[in-house]
Structure 1
Amino acid sequence: MPDNRKVTASREENAAYMNQVLPVKDSFDIIQRDMLIGGRMASFYFIDGFTKDEVMLKIMDSLFKVTQENMPADATQFSRECIPYVEVDILGDFDDVLRNVLSGVTCLFIEGYEACIAIDCRTYPARSVEEPDKDKSLRGSRDGFVETIVFNTALMRRRIRDPHLIMEMTEVGDTSRTDVAICYMGDRVDQELLNTVQQRIKSIRTDDLRMNQQSLAECLFKRKWYNPFPKFKFTERPDTAAACLLEGKVVIMVDNSPSAMILPTSIFDMIEEANDYYFPTLTGLYLKFSRTLITIMTVFLTPVFLLFMQNLNWLPKAFDFVAVKDMVNIPLIFQLLILEIAIDGLRLAALNTPSMLSTPLSVIAGLVMGEFSVKSGWFNAEVMLYMAFVAVANYTQPNFELGYALKFMRLQLLILTALFNWVGFAAGCIIVIISLCFNKTLSGRNYLNVKLN
């Protein structure tokens, strides 16, 4: 780790220390460029691939025109008079210098100046701004977050032209030193929540954020393994993040992550999506209601079906048609559990299948899993129908983590119902309610937005 050593007026000493700390000779992309500016020796340090070549050519062209008679007295005056660029800073600590160099900033040492001149003409490799695949909107904007944090903050700033929009930049990780931006509206944010978020981020002591946003989420709030419901809401849409900022929420951006973390979170926030805001009020309410109803059905449909199949005398005559008519070769609980695992297997296979083959392979898998699995006697048609509904209904809400949390709740309901009949089903329902009510989030509130002590 770099120490608090100060930059000296000797370029040779500064360059020697930089070459001692940085692997200039061993790493091809860390470059030292020595040149003569106004009769004095100077050294540039920068990362190849992070610097805008056209901008640096223009800056160097201006520096070559500086004569010995026109050399300013100090680095601050030099940056004002001789560097025709906007983002220029003066650094006096090697810790700041090394952090800037490794972040892509070009740093300049000049003989006789007891400071380093940092020229922020960096550019990061980035993909084009496009609509995210998972969080699509029928009528909304078609842009989405990318892996570069500056682009992401610009997408939100473009939507909110208000001086109260504040974006605080900090770093997390002793080795990775990952940039983290805390975004909020100064006149609308919950100050207690904001202070909690700021203090927790400052108190994080970790070597690196290996998985970027997910690593930060785990550092911010230690989740309990037995409660699968997510603590944070994530979105890849800048319009959704901007709407949450205007509602007084806090948005956290992490460099190298194409999504925003939104606080505070409730179950009602989790099941919302952008389409709810792009339609008239009545249509939006209908979409929310239908999504909520389908979400509840994904949890309780198959357990209720299993409960009635174990107690056929409970089944009203009007619903006799839902009873399994064919011979049951494998117990219903095992059929349901096998299909739960098989659906996840198909989902994982789809993620790793080349796009040109995904459609034909999906058709083949559908035929095999559907028709032939029923004819072979492994599964009953009714079980296949209900599991097909559950598999498709999981995609009605955009939150991936919430989908798996609901899946785990459904699995425990199935197992308890199979083992203890209606008593197990009632116990499973109680577990679901308790998991929601006592799922404490970073704001100190639970999923029902009730303050917890």
Structure 2
Amino acid sequence: MFRKKDLKGHSKNVVEQSKNNIENDAHCLVTSLEANIELFTKIFNNDETLVVRRFQNKYLKEAKCCAVYIAGMVNTDMLNENVIQPILQNNLREDIYTHKLLEELQYKIIVSDNVNLVNDLSELVNSVISGDTILLLEGYDNALIISTRGWPTRSIEEPESAKVVRGPREGFTESLMTSLSLIRRKINTPELKFKFREMGERTHTKVCVCYIEGLAVEEILLELEKRLDAIKIDAILDSGYIQELIRDAPFSPYETVGYSERPDVIAAKLLEGRIAIVVDGSPFVLTVPFVLAESFQSDEDYYNNFIFSSFNRMIRMVGVFVATGLPAVYLAIVTYHQEMLPTPLLISIASARQGVPFPSVVALFFMLLVFDVIREAATRMPTPIGQAVNIVGTLVLGQAIVEAKIVSSPVIIITAISGIMKLLSPTALGSIIVLRLFFLLLASVMGIYGYILGMIIATLHLMNVRSFGVPYMLGLSSVKNHNGQDIWIRAPWWTMTLRPKIIGARNLVRQSMKKTVGSKPK
């Protein structure tokens, strides 16, 4: 259930207030060109980016026009060549009905793929803000909205957060239409549907819901639209806003809404029956539903040999368990259960701890915090400086702390192993950090029994989590049917003939024919 009840009270007051302000200035356009220009300059008062370009046809004096647009939001070359120049130079006395001049300009003179005749003032203002050009004409109480959007955008390149050795090198950009075109190029079918909406009472950010008709579950789509409709917020500046507002289990450390910068990943999820959410201005595309197994998957798993991919996936899974449990198990053993260690190992650890002023629990908490501080600092810094910080932090600082007898060598080793292992699954980084501290706190109080208790609590919590009605642990307990073929391992493509249940319930068949392994061509 959607839980942002405190935002429901913030209804459409902001939008209605802005509309009322426009209506107070004037209910609609008038036939006077100068009055209409004054109206727009009053609405955009103190906005120096507003451009008002007056011009008149040299053959027809009645064709007094004005183009209204915002500098930096339009393609000026397109505006000059397709709108202003044709009106200025064409002989409007020939083959033009002067009594309906505005319609004649729309259909015979202006060169644009999208020109609409509008008299609603609110729609005209929103079009100017969005980057379109408004054409006003003397003697008419309506105007033309001409599509001339053309602001600078980032080129398509490989995303920094998801580099691969093998696979496509393109990533989403901040341009909504560019991102949608990348998805369309991957899934070239009319069943791919795009539903647009505007979100944010002040930003009016364009959001697109993408799904494949016939694969996406209707109930999940309706639930997603219901949650999106319930969002009442001033601004949507990134897809992370929507991710937090529509997710299930808001206080859980586990993500229930997926995201990716790679078009091939989003296309693969759409083909399994998931739904994607693309936000204008954000290169991160959301996907729902999202299950735990996706945290261990990588897009490169499906481009390499299935044996090598399965091995890498199992390494990631083991890495998550080691990253969350190794500090807690070490603390429990050296503090409460020394008899579980071989005598030579116990003597080695005890000798390393000689002269260290802090107990193991304090040393572990301190070093894990230092490791996360170094990781965060390296992430926020430029790449060359970040690499230097990583080297200095992990080698020089660690060696200095050991030599100063602040912590023991085993603590440094445990911290380093745990820190490296958690980097194997970047999408699960937040949940790993929270679980590691939770397990460490329980182990410091109850020893190995505290760690076991923490595992039981975490498992019960995962069993209760849902993502848009889909169990979060989907497929993890299955090893026989097709749900388990892409969970613990990546099975060969010729065996994965069905899509995951529940997610692709409307059409489970992925491929109708199985490949005959080892068969020779006739």
Shared fold (TM-score, shorter chain, > 0.5): yes
Give the corresponding residue for 1:417.
443
2:207 is matched with which residue: 167, 172, 180?
180
2:88 is matched with which residue: 48, 58, 64?
64
2:243 is matched with which residue: 214, 217, 222?
217
Matches of 2:307 and 2:344 in 1, distance apart? 33
Are 1:444 and 2:469 matched, yes or no? yes
CA gap 1:367/1:49 in 2 versus in 1, 3 angstroms: same
Alpha-carbon contact 1:322-1:382 (below 8 Å) kept:
no
Q: CA deviation at 1:219?
A: 2.7
User: What percentage of residue pairs aligned between the two structures are identical?
Assistant: 23
Per-residue CA deviation, residues 160-212 of structure 1 (Å, 9 max, x unaligned), is 21111111111001111111111111221111111111222223222222x42
SS of alignment partner, residue 2 of structure 1: helix
CA gap 1:294/1:222 in 2 versus in 1, 3 angstroms: closer
The 5-angstrom pairing of residues 30-429 of structure 1 reads 30-37=50-57, 38=60, 39-59=62-82, 60-69=84-93, 70-71=96-97, 73=100, 75-209=102-236, 211-221=237-247, 223-225=249-251, 227-309=252-334, 310-315=336-341, 323-328=349-354, 329=356, 330-399=358-427, 402-429=428-455
Alpha-carbon contact 2:195-2:209 (below 8 Å) kept:
yes
Q: CA deviation at 1:444?
A: 2.1
Q: CA deviation at 1:75?
A: 4.2
Per-residue CA deviation, residues 74-126 of structure 1 (Å, 9 max, x unaligned), is 64553221111213233332222111111111121223444321111212222
4+ long deviations beyond 6 Å: none
Residue identity matched to 1:17: L
Per-residue CA deviation, residues 265-313 of structure 1 (Å, 9 max, x unaligned), is 0001222121111112222222222211211211111111112212011
Root mean square deviation, CA, Å: 2.3
Give the corresponding residue for 1:15.
37
Alpha-carbon contact 1:74-1:113 (below 8 Å) kept:
no
Matches of 2:406 and 2:152 in 1, distance apart? 51
- Unaligned runs of 5+ residues in structure 1 are none
CA gap 1:15/1:133 in 2 versus in 1, 3 angstroms: same
Matches of 1:180 and 1:8 in 2, distance apart? 34
Q: CA deviation at 1:9?
A: 4.5
Matches of 1:314 and 1:356 in 2, distance apart? 44
SS of alignment partner, residue 162 of structure 2: coil
Matches of 1:288 and 1:365 in 2, distance apart? 29
SS of alignment partner, residue 165 of structure 2: coil
Matches of 2:369 and 2:173 in 1, distance apart? 32
Q: TM-score, normalised by structure 2?
A: 0.80
Alpha-carbon contact 1:75-1:114 (below 8 Å) kept:
no
Matches of 2:132 and 2:279 in 1, distance apart? 19
Residue identity matched to 1:348: E
Matches of 1:144 and 1:245 in 2, distance apart? 16
CA gap 1:170/1:321 in 2 versus in 1, 3 angstroms: farther
> How many residue pairs get matched?
444
Matches of 2:135 and 2:229 in 1, distance apart? 30
CA gap 1:75/1:159 in 2 versus in 1, 3 angstroms: farther
